Amino acid sequence: MEHLDYSNQAAWTRVSGDKQSPVALSDSLAVKNDFETTLSFNYDHTASYVRDTGAGIEVGLHGTANIGNRPFSLNQFHIHTPSEHTVNDKSYEAEIHFVHEASDGRLAVVAVLVQSGAASQTYDAVLAHMNQKETFDIPVDDIMPENKAYYHYIGSLTTPPLTENVEWYVLKQPVTLSTEQINHLKTFYSHNNRDLQALNDRPIISSN
């Protein structure tokens, strides 16, 4: 399996565009929106696979999401170490991306930031089934925060082909992995995070 070269990101194949991800998020740049997009999720608790894609650890998980009264389907989630987005100049230990797709092909990624703290049963389940194709039970709840307040902007995928017009919702409340789990995650990928990209006057929306 060929690994994506994060040490030479300038060589990545990409489409042209100036709306790339990740970006530096901050309360000073964000605009409060009185008409917030509501987020709700109904994810399965049975995963179909865990695999190393060469760009990160990916888990096959299905379910539905309602984003601003628009239905999306969850395709998978994967993990970047350390975080790709920063918030108020702070980088986190990791970042989990839940990748959703609408019936018209539009993509929405819900990003969950990870800090050191209590251990995650979800991560233990993922680890126990690494590179296996059999289905297995997965809690999920401990890697999705209760508070769904977010930063929102329009960006791109963070791995090639770096496709744009992706809706990003970076949740403000982080979840936790234990220090031991974070260190174990880094044995797979210690730096599979894309460099920060220019905002280029894109608005950042902040929910309450």
Q: pTM for this structure?
A: 0.96
On whether residue 111 sits in a domain, the answer given is yes
Cα 151 from Cα 142, distance rounded (Å)? 20
> What is the tens place of the pLDDT at every residue in 155-173?
999 999 999 999 999 999 9
Whole-Å CA distances, 54 to 128, 155, 167, 197, 207:
19, 22, 24, 22, 34
- Domain of residue 157, residue span: 46-206
List the structure tokens of 154: 């329009």
On whether residue 201 sits in a domain, the answer given is yes
Cα 62 from Cα 48, distance rounded (Å)? 9
Cα 56 from Cα 193, distance rounded (Å)? 9
On whether residue 36 sits in a domain, the answer given is no
Please list the helix, strand and coil fractions of the chain in percent, rounded to the nearest 5, in that order.
15, 40, 50
> What is the tens place of the pLDDT at every residue in 65-114?
999 889 999 999 999 999 999 999 999 999 999 999 999 999 999 999 99
CATH number at residue 76: 3.10.200.10
Provide the domain count of the chain.
1
